Amino acid sequence: MHLKRSRIKFLVILVVLVLSALDHVGAFAKRTDDRSRYNGITAIVVNAIDGDTLGIDIPDHPADRTRIRLLGIDCPEIAHAPGESDAHFGREAADFVQEHMIDQKVRIALDPTRNPRDKFGRLLAYVYLEDSVEMLNETLLVEGLAYADPRFPHVFRHRFTELERRARRAKVGLWQDLNPQMMPPWR
């Protein structure tokens, strides 16, 4: 009987230790509280997937970083597989983010009017340079490296549309030699 109690105590202690270790590494982290977890935080950009998607140094279980999709804009795509080719100005947008954002401290802002995640689980956000009013989403529009994306509502929808209109009129970036076949299908 004493041996049986010792085994039960051992198993209980083992289960508590395993659960504690899993909790410590974020295995039980919930995405339901993204606003309090991400809104207003400062993080470091660790990678750029393309012009409108980047990673920050905050773990997002099970990943070791959080993938952010810049809300309200759409940069031209870059090739991610053999046989694919970059869309018009896709490489320029990706290179811009790579050159200007990697290892930079940024502030994350979530839109209060919408779900903070897209269907792929990426965090939808506005990204600001730390302690600045400069927003990466806007900079990409001003530089002609992104389209304003009106398909989904967000608080800067009208502002982003106006920034795109100005870049288009000035023939900045992708607007220089753009023809309709070069635009994304949703346009």
Domain coverage including residue 152? 34-182
Lowest mean pLDDT among 7-16, 61-70, 166-175: 7-16
Count the neighbouring beta carbons within 10 Å of the beta carbon of residue 179: 7
Q: Are residues 82 and 164 in the same domain?
A: yes
Return the higher-pLDDT residue of 181 and 134.
134
**Whole-number Cα distances in Å, 177 to 65, 139, 172, 181:** 37, 20, 9, 11
Q: Are residues 17 and 80 in the same domain?
A: no
Asked whether residue 75 is assigned to any structural domain, the reply reads: yes
Q: What is the pLDDT of residues 50-97, one digit of tens each?
A: 999 999 999 998 999 999 999 999 999 998 788 888 889 999 999 999
Q: Are residues 5 and 81 in the same domain?
A: no
Q: How far apart are CA 17 and CA 85, in angstroms?
A: 50
Predicted local distance difference test score (pLDDT) of residue 115: 94
Asked whether residue 15 is assigned to any structural domain, the reply reads: yes
Q: Are residues 145 and 61 in the same domain?
A: yes
Q: What is the pLDDT of residues 113-133, one digit of tens each?
A: 999 999 999 999 999 998 889
Average pLDDT rounded to a whole number, residues 130-159? 95
Q: What is the pLDDT of residues 13-34, one digit of tens each?
A: 666 555 555 554 445 544 458 9
Report the CATH number at residue 46.
2.40.50.90
Q: Are residues 26 and 45 in the same domain?
A: no
Asked whether residue 164 is assigned to any structural domain, the reply reads: yes
Predicted local distance difference test score (pLDDT) of residue 18: 59
Q: What is the pLDDT of residues 87-100, one digit of tens each?
A: 899 999 999 999 99
Q: Which residue has the tokens 């900079």?
A: 139
DSSP tag of 182: G
**Whole-number Cα distances in Å, 175 to 18, 121, 169, 178, 183:** 56, 31, 8, 5, 10
Report the number of distinct structural domains present in the chain.
2
Q: Are residues 54 and 74 in the same domain?
A: yes
Predicted local distance difference test score (pLDDT) of residue 164: 97
| pLDDT band for position 43 (cuts 50, 70, 90) | very high
Whether the per-residue pLDDT at 36 is higher than 70: the answer is: yes
| pLDDT band for position 182 (cuts 50, 70, 90) | confident
Asked whether residue 187 is assigned to any structural domain, the reply reads: no
Predicted local distance difference test score (pLDDT) of residue 30: 47
Amino acid code (one letter) for 173: G
| pLDDT band for position 180 (cuts 50, 70, 90) | confident
Q: Are residues 16 and 39 in the same domain?
A: no
Q: Are residues 147 and 126 in the same domain?
A: yes
Contact (CB, 8 A) for 122 and 69 = yes
Q: Are residues 74 and 98 in the same domain?
A: yes
Asked whether residue 71 is assigned to any structural domain, the reply reads: yes
Q: Are residues 17 and 58 in the same domain?
A: no
